[in-house]
């Protein structure tokens, strides 16, 4: 395999940058560029050691750096690897990378180091995917899941299921291929038991997929209610309560205001659809249209009412519009004398809060967690499969169920074998034990360059 190099740290000025070189010629290239302050040559450096020295190009001294050497197979990629830690300036980092490339390294593609680690058997495919998940995790639960996957928990669970199925296939094949050999006939009850156990394991893995998606991607949420009920105050209270605004993109006053805030460990992408009122002019009509679109897209709606006033026709109209939607009705201004009659509100979840006084606001988090089934998984490290892994599990599960049905309805063992084969294949693809190049390339294309 060729020798590749890339900057592994972000493309920005910082304390240090790391340039990683991996492949057969990595140490040879490092030796040409790096002049140690001590007497030790790069070729004499044992793996997992570093040396202090200079990067020199012709007569030019480029930087004082630390060089770390890893020798195959004891490196991240499984190949000889050199890492140059230089000062974190954009120019100096790029300049050193250019020197490395001029000495024969190729620029590494996105995720190439981790791809090599996979191809060299250092990581399973799911462990490699976990590396990307660790980098992108922006909450406690997403990180815990990524770490479980990185430890190989998913790989082992999938391997246990696929080993069981492959074992069945072996027994079935021996029995059909050598009918005269007096092999014990594979007992349908034993096959069924293995199929049911495999089904249960995959169902358990898939059961947390939706929660994982919520922890990874957040929830699209719309906040609705007529003017002055306290929507902005509530948003501020939620922000103040959690104290971690992530982004704030403000449109025009007639536009939809979008904010992302963290509720517990979940990102809420909130659209303030103030424009839901009836439009009186053309510009406002556009605002209303945008607001309606944000509302349609929302996975969750906060409907805010003013508890110090009676329910108005406009409130009823909005409530009617939200029927059948995942919605939390928030009766605001609980600190004032209450005039609103809750009994007239047809909604599953009604909370009374005072956004201004910060009373009851924390109940909103609890309800959101309950609604999205997060309460159970939030407190324990839980493994969340990603989209690719889910699709593989789905395909396997479908075939396992087909095999069980075929067995129970007394179909031939050949038919059962075909289904079990169809179940084992996507699991081997999931773990990376038997996977096409296209799938591997697709997985690693999602990585950043330098990882
Ligand atoms: P929006 O138009 O729905 O965004 O409403 P605002 O958040 O701008 O609030 C309208 C008015 O209601 C402001 O004067 C707020 O101070 C007031 N308000 C908001 N929440 C509360 C509350 O919980 N209690 C009281 N007493 N006043 C509130």
Mutate to test the pocket of ligand 1, among 236, 259, 356 (most ligand atoms within 8 A of CB): 356
Ligand 1: which atom is nearest the Cα of residue 225? 3
Question: Going by CA atoms, what residue is nearest to atom 11 of ligand 1?
Answer: 228
User: Does 307 reside within a domain?
Assistant: yes
CATH number for the domain harbouring residue 94: 3.30.1360.120
Number of structural domains found in the chain: 3
Question: Going by CA atoms, what residue is nearest to atom 26 of ligand 1?
Answer: 333
User: Does 334 reside within a domain?
Assistant: yes
- pTM as predicted: 0.79
CATH number for the domain harbouring residue 247: 3.40.50.300
3-state secondary structure 271-315: EECHHHCCCCCHHHHHHHHHHHHHHHHCCEEEEEEECCCCCCHHH
Cβ 134 under 6 angstroms from ligand 1: no
CATH number for the domain harbouring residue 176: 1.20.120.430
Q: Which residue has the higher pLDDT, 113 or 289?
A: 113
Tell me, yes or no, whether 402 and 428 share the same domain.
yes
* Edge-first strand listing for the sheet containing 266-272: 245-249, 257-263, 266-272, 219-224, 300-306, 327-332, 350-352
User: Does 118 reside within a domain?
Assistant: no
Span from the CA of 354 to the centroid of ligand 1 (angstroms): 9
pLDDT at residue 252, as a whole number: 38
Domain boundary among 332, 347, 378: 378
Tell me, yes or no, whether 225 and 339 share the same domain.
yes
User: Does 450 reside within a domain?
Assistant: no
Cβ 412 under 6 angstroms from ligand 1: no
Average of pLDDT values for 368-395?
A: 91
pLDDT at residue 184, as a whole number: 60
Cβ 228 under 6 angstroms from ligand 1: yes
Residue 412: give the domain boundaries.
128-208+385-444
Sign of torsion over alpha carbons 124, 97, 57, 89? negative
Tell me, yes or no, whether 188 and 261 share the same domain.
no
Task: Give the whole-number percent of the chain exceeding pLDDT 90.
Answer: 62
User: Does 120 reside within a domain?
Assistant: no
Tell me, yes or no, whether 300 and 243 share the same domain.
yes
Give 123-174 pLDDT, tens digit per residue.
999 999 999 999 988 888 899 999 999 999 999 999 999 999 999 998 888 7
User: Does 117 reside within a domain?
Assistant: no
Tell me, yes or no, whether 148 and 12 share the same domain.
no
User: Does 34 reside within a domain?
Assistant: yes
Q: Which residue has the higher pLDDT, 186 or 346?
A: 346
Give 407-418 pLDDT, tens digit per residue.
999 898 889 999
pLDDT at residue 274, as a whole number: 57
Pick from 404, 426, 425: nearest CA to 415: 404
Average of pLDDT values for 382-392?
A: 94
Measure the N-to-C terminal CA separation of the chain; round to a whole number of Å.
17
Tell me, yes or no, whether 309 and 391 share the same domain.
no
Span from the CA of 252 to the centroid of ligand 1 (angstroms): 21
Tell me, yes or no, whether 221 and 340 share the same domain.
yes
Tell me, yes or no, whether 299 and 422 share the same domain.
no
Q: Which tokens is 14 given?
A: 């910082």
Tell me, yes or no, whether 36 and 154 share the same domain.
no
What contacts 35, CB < 8 A, 6 or more positions away?
53, 54, 55, 56
Ligand 1: which atom is nearest the Cα of residue 332? 23
Tell me, yes or no, whether 277 and 359 share the same domain.
yes
> Is the distance from CB of 99 to CB of 56 less than 8 angstroms?
no
Span from the CA of 282 to the centroid of ligand 1 (angstroms): 28
Domain boundary among 56, 78, 108: 108
Q: Does the pLDDT at position 85 exceed 60?
A: yes
Cα 111 from Cα 4, distance rounded (Å): 11
Domain boundary among 329, 350, 378: 378
pLDDT at residue 280, as a whole number: 62
Tell me, yes or no, whether 104 and 162 share the same domain.
no
Span from the CA of 245 to the centroid of ligand 1 (angstroms): 20
Span from the CA of 349 to the centroid of ligand 1 (angstroms): 21
User: Does 295 reside within a domain?
Assistant: yes
Tell me, yes or no, whether 198 and 316 share the same domain.
no
């Amino acid at each position: 395999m060729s020798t590749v190099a890339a900057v592994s740290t972000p493309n920005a000025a910082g304390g240090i940058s790391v340039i990683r070189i991996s492949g057969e010629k990595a140490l040879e290239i490092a030796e040409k560029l790096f002049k140690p302050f001590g007497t030790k040559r790069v070729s004499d450096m044992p793996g997992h050691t570093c040396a202090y020295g200079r990067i020199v190009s012709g007569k030019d001294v480029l930087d004082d750096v630390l060089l770390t050497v890893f020798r195959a197979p004891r490196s991240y990629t499984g190949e000889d690897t050199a890492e140059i830690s230089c000062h974190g300036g954009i120019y100096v980092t790029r300049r050193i990378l250019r020197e490395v490339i001029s000495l024969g390294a190729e620029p590494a593609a996105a995720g190439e180091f981790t791809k090599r680690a996979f191809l060299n058997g250092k990581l399973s495919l799911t462990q490699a995917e976990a590396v990307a998940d660790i980098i992108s995790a922006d909450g406690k639960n997403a990180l815990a899941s990524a770490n479980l996957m990185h430890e190989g928990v998913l790989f082992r669970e999938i391997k246990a299921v696929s080993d069981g199925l492959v074992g069945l296939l072996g027994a079935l094949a021996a029995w059909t291929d050598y009918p005269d050999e007096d092999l014990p006939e594979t007992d349908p009850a034993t096959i069924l038991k293995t199929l049911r156990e495999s089904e249960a394991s995959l169902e358990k893995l898939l059961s947390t997929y939706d929660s994982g998606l919520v922890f990874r991607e957040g929830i699209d949420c719309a906040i609705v209610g007529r003017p002055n009920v306290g929507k902005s105050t509530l948003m501020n209270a939620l922000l103040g309560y959690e104290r971690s605004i992530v982004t704030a993109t403000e449109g025009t006053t007639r536009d939809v205001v979008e904010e992302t805030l963290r509720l517990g460990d979940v990102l809420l992408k909130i659209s303030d659809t103030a424009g839901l009122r009836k439009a009186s002019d053309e510009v406002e009509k556009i605002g209303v249209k945008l607001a309606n679109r944000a509302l349609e897209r929302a996975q969750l709606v906060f409907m805010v009412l003013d508890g110090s006033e009676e329910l108005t026709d406009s409130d009823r109209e909005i409530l009617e519009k939200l029927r059948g939607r995942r919605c939390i009705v928030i009766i605001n201004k609980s600190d004032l004398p209450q005039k609103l009659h809750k009994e007239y509100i047809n909604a599953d979840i009604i909370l009374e809060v005072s956004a201004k006084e910060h009373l009851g606001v924390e109940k909103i988090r609890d309800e959101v967690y309950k609604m999205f089934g997060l309460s159970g998984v939030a407190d324990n490290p839980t493994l969340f499969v990603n989209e690719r892994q889910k699709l593989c599990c789905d395909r396997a599960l479908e075939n396992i169920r087909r095999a069980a049905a075929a067995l129970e309805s007394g179909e031939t063992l050949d038919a059962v074998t075909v289904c079990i084969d169809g179940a084992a294949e996507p699991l081997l693809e999931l773990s990376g034990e038997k996977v096409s190049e296209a799938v591997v390339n697709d997985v690693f294309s999602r990585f950043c360059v330098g990882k």
